[in-house]
């Protein structure tokens, strides 16, 4: 199988290959901290070897549960926030499975998939109720602690809905829980109610959990071949185990990001030319934002859908503040061949494109944008993904996880904690009058 590769030639006007080579020793030190599990946050490094050491017995349970859900459900609701849903949604939408599951169940064999628990909007939830009315429903609630506010509130409401509609016993057969393997509010509730439960390993944090049951159960329900997802993750795990900058594109990416950062490029735009990568961009933002944004440091992660967003943000990127660099996701092969045909009158002036595929034109737009932005002082990195498939979904997820861990260590932060996230929660709990938060 072809591998994911990195082309950083469009950044060499700002960084020197010698600068990259000079950092090899530091990269090797950080690599040792990761793989010996002695660095900061080492308690959360379970994801590092997970693709090769995942729980085979639970994997079979996931496949069996997914098949059960597909048979009994017209609707499947994934309840979670942040890392508890973004990885699954990224994979499902990347593979265009969400569009497929919006069709009637009899046509696809899969239920329609909806996401909830990532906001507390009454409008959103009311619309969800309207969409699922009269349809058979199953739910997967995902929360390691079981007490994440947004998820817990929405799950309480959906649990009430399910029990009112099906009765407690039948509802219990339609609610699936993914949570801490050993403890927590959801684990306790699942045991009491008899919900089928899947474990989140203690040593894997939410934003690094996409290749665990957190991501795999929703993917499997959507019809994604999760064996191929894990095969891609395994291949990346092996390929990216080398500390050599010359041979490890994830480390190249992490190191170049840090070199650009110290040169004043404090904002990274993840650019993509396929709209179904939108939620991969959302997953990337959480992964890097929570991992690096601390101690007064960090690259601000943003994502844009080109060429669409060029008509909104292209002007700023081209001629605005020069604190931006771009990482472009290039899907090298497309199976969809839509060809531009000749028009008799050529009133739109497009006959010069006769015989060209839409994908070819899209690629040329990408090349033109990268050249223009680079000429305008915005360095570009290009991550080349051979094609969109379950295998490369697994590879891409692991690639970014490994790159993020290395990038955080190079930056000098713990990439596995998120102490700042608690600040807004404390204020919210105080305002709401939660016991124990009366005085702040």
My answer on whether 176 and 250 are in the same domain is: no
What is the reported pTM? 0.94
Tokens at 291, concatenated: 């991992």
> What CATH number corresponds to the domain at position 91?
3.40.50.10490
Catalytic residue numbers, as ranges: 290, 425
Q: Residue 7 forms beta bridges with which residues?
A: 382
Instruction: With respect to residue 243, please indicate whether it lies within any of the assigned structural domains.
Output: yes
- CA geometry: angle 14, 283, 371, nearest 5 deg: 30
My answer on whether 388 and 246 are in the same domain is: yes
User: CA–CA distance from 437 to each of 119, 147, 236, 420 (Å)?
Assistant: 22, 15, 45, 17
List, for the chain, all residue ranges whose pLDDT scores fall below the cut of 50. Answer: 104
My answer on whether 288 and 177 are in the same domain is: no
My answer on whether 296 and 403 are in the same domain is: yes
My answer on whether 393 and 292 are in the same domain is: yes
My answer on whether 277 and 170 are in the same domain is: no
Edge-first strand listing for the sheet containing 112-116: 112-116, 75-79, 137-142, 175-180, 196-200
Domain containing residue 342: 5-39+231-410
My answer on whether 146 and 251 are in the same domain is: no
My answer on whether 220 and 238 are in the same domain is: no
Indicate the number of domains in the chain.
Answer: 2
My answer on whether 270 and 204 are in the same domain is: no
DSSP letter string, 148-162: -HHHHHHHHHHHHHH
Tokens at 144, concatenated: 């390691």
**Domain endpoint, select from 224, 257, 282:** 224
Tell me the per-residue pLDDT of 143-196, one tens digit each, with 9 for 90 and over. Answer: 988 888 899 999 999 999 999 999 999 999 999 999 998 888 899 998 899 999
Instruction: With respect to residue 19, please indicate whether it lies within any of the assigned structural domains.
Output: yes
pLDDT at 429: 75
Q: How far apart are CA 145 and CA 218, in angstroms?
A: 19
Q: How far is CA 124 from the centre of its chain?
A: 22
DSSP letter string, 314-351: HHHHHHS-S-EEEEEEEE---S---BPPP-SS-TTS-G
């Amino acid at each position: 199988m072809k591998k994911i590769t990195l082309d950083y030639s469009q950044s060499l006007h700002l960084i020197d290959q010698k600068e990259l080579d000079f950092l090899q020793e530091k990269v090797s030190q950080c690599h040792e901290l990761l793989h010996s599990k002695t660095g900061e946050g080492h308690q959360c490094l379970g994801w590092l070897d997970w693709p090769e050491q995942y729980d085979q017995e639970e994997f079979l349970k996931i496949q069996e549960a997914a098949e059960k859900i597909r048979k009994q459900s017209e609707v499947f609701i994934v309840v979670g926030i942040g890392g508890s849903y973004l990885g699954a949604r990224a994979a499902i939408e990347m593979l265009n499975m969400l569009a497929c599951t919006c069709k009637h169940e009899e046509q696809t064999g899969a239920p329609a998939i909806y996401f909830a628990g990532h906001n507390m909007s009454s409008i959103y939830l009311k619309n969800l109720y309207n969409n699922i009315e009269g349809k058979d429903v199953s739910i997967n609630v995902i929360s390691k602690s079981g007490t994440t506010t947004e998820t817990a509130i929405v799950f309480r409401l959906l649990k009430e809905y399910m029990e009112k509609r099906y009765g407690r016993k039948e509802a219990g057969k339609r609610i699936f829980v993914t949570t801490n393997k050993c403890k927590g509010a959801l684990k306790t509730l699942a045991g009491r109610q008899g919900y089928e439960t899947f474990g989140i390993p203690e040593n894997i944090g939410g934003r690094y959990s996409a290749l665990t049951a957190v991501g795999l159960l929703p993917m499997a329900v959507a019809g994604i071949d999760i064996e191929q997802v894990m095969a891609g993750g395994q291949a990346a795990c092996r390929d990216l185990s080398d500390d050599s900058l010359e041979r490890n594109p994830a480390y190249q990416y992490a190191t170049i990001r840090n070199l650009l950062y110290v040169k004043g490029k404090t904002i990274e735009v993840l650019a993509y030319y396929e709209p179904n990568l939108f939620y991969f961009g959302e997953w990337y933002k959480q992964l890097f934002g929570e991992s690096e944004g601390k101690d007064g440091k960090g690259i601000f992660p943003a994502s844009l859908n080109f060429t669409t967003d060029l008509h909104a943000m292209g002007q700023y990127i081209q001629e605005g503040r020069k604190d931006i660099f771009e990482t472009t996701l290039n899907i090298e092969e497309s199976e969809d061949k839509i060809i531009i045909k000749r028009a008799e009158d050529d009133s739109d002036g497009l006959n010069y494109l006769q015989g060209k595929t839409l994908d070819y034109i899209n690629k040329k737009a990408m090349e033109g944008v990268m050249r223009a932005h680079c000429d305008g002082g915005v360095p570009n990195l290009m991550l080349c993904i051979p094609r969109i498939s379950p295998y490369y979904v697994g590879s891409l997820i692991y690639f970014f996880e490994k790159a993020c861990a290395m990038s955080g260590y190079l930056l000098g932060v713990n990439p596995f904690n998120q102490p700042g996230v608690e600040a807004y929660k404390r204020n919210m709990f105080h305002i709401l009058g939660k016991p124990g938060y009366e005085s702040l």
